[in-house]
Amino acid sequence: MKRTAMRGGTLEPWLRELAPARITVLDCKTGARFTEPSYVAAEYETVETTGRDPAAGGPRTFPHLTLRRYLAAGRESVRAVSDEEFLAAGGDPRDLDDPSLVRMASTVDGMDRFDSGFFGYSPAEAAVVDPQQRLLLETAYHALEDAGHPDAATDVGVYAGAGDSRYYPAHVYPRFAGQPGSVELVHSATANSLGTLATRISYELGLTGPSVSVQTACSTALVALHTACQDLLEFRCDTALAGAVSLNPSALLGYRHVPDGPFSPDGHCRAFAADAAGTSSGDGVGVVVLKRLEDAVEDGDRIRAVIRGTAINNDGRRKVGFTAPSTAGQTEVILAAQAQAEVDAGTIGLVESHGTATRIGDPIEVSALTDAFRESTTGTGFCALGSVKTNIGHLGAAAGIAGPAACGPLSTAGADHRELGAAAAPECEIRRGELDGLPAVLVQYAACCSAP
């Protein structure tokens, strides 16, 4: 890594022309809900996103055409794990022929290659820190750099979350378990705590705005984004970093499929497909740089997308089980976000859904979206519906950051339903009949509906 001085001097052409592109992120998850209708002529926050696609070995800027080309090419990051990789990761040779073991993974290459010297860590110090914290720190720096603010003013807020650490119990705690109360144990626990995630970024980058660690399970990234937007509107900071990370150091060991469970029997996620049988996990990290639009225009920043409104709620007990979604809760939060953004359903062209390919979750999402849209339109087939989980898997706490990164460039670039659906696999039996007469037109970004 190296520091570079870069400033974006002009607005993206689509923003100058105020092209009527519309996006909604409907992230329907356990815990908090978040919906993000966006309109390119809005007047709130600008967004710059930096992330790592699971198949890439380095930082990758997701906005604009990079992720769009990735999706249009039908790329899928979920891949088979070879026998050699499985054994090198600590797998039991006796499991190589276990038919219930699904050896598929979507991983971020190089999660162990933290640039410790750049941030002033010794190799021994860095080894104690959860790779999630290391990678998010690097990505936060890259996001500021890509946004043209490598030496950002100190009044920058940080809103970030991560999945539960799998690194600490497996690789760190055993080293100090016999030293209760020791300085080493306290230090290692702090270095892996979700509570110190945002603060580490603020400390290392010298940022003095609010520093808030967020943990709401799969909705973590979008709740962090929502919180950052609210603080910007309240002038608690002038720039904000929002993002999340989820890494599984043991991903190459695969998982055991349980019939009728939440995970796919073959490692592929077929959102909204007739043969949808569950989700698949993936690793990922992403950070967005947010500013109030008028400030970004005045500063000559490069504007990738604009967030017009956000909303958040919870189902309470209005669902069949703790981890299940509810139609009523999702409908309400969609309507709240539309009201806050001052848009009606007929102006929304793309919904990036949670889309986990579960037999309970997917139909509830479609039902909730339909109920909400019917409040303002009777139109049919005008809104595209997709899920990037078909490409990169379910990123857990980081899942929500992939949605804006995916649908922002697709919509602002003027993509229509035909272009969005160009990469759909012909082998995939979509539940198209179930969408007849409804607002949504199903699109799929990747040719991952059939096993390789």
- Residues with a catalytic annotation lie at 218, 354, 394
Q: Return the DSSP state at 350.
A: E
Q: CA-to-CA distance for 173 and 298, rounded, in angstroms?
A: 49
Cα angle value 149/57/95 (rounded, 5°):
140
How far out from the chain centre does Cα 448 lie? Answer: 19
Q: Are 191 and 121 in contact (CB under 8 A)?
A: no
Q: Judging by DSSP bridges, how do beta strands 311-313 and 33-39 pair with one another?
A: antiparallel
Q: CA-to-CA distance for 371 and 368, rounded, in angstroms?
A: 5
Longest dimension (CA), the chain: 65
Q: CA-to-CA distance for 287 and 144, rounded, in angstroms?
A: 9
Count of residues in the chain: 452
Distances (CA, A) of 105 to 62, 85, 254, 347: 21, 11, 7, 37
3-state secondary structure 146-169: HCCCCCCCCCEEEEEEECCCCHHH
The pair of three-digit structure tokens given for residue 52, joined into one six-digit string: 């790592």
Q: Are 377 and 447 in contact (CB under 8 A)?
A: no
Q: Are 22 and 37 in contact (CB under 8 A)?
A: yes
Q: Are 384 and 351 in contact (CB under 8 A)?
A: yes
Distances (CA, A) of 23 to 307, 310, 359, 386, 405: 9, 12, 25, 11, 11
Helix (H, G, I), strand (E, B) or coil at 48: strand
Q: Return the DSSP state at 94.
A: G
Q: Specify the DSSP element, H or E, that contains 288.
A: strand 284-292
Q: CA-to-CA distance for 452 and 447, rounded, in angstroms?
A: 10
Closest of 330, 324, 317 to residue 262, by C-alpha = 324
Rounded to the nearest 10 degrees, the angle between the axes of helix 65-72 and helix 399-412 is 90
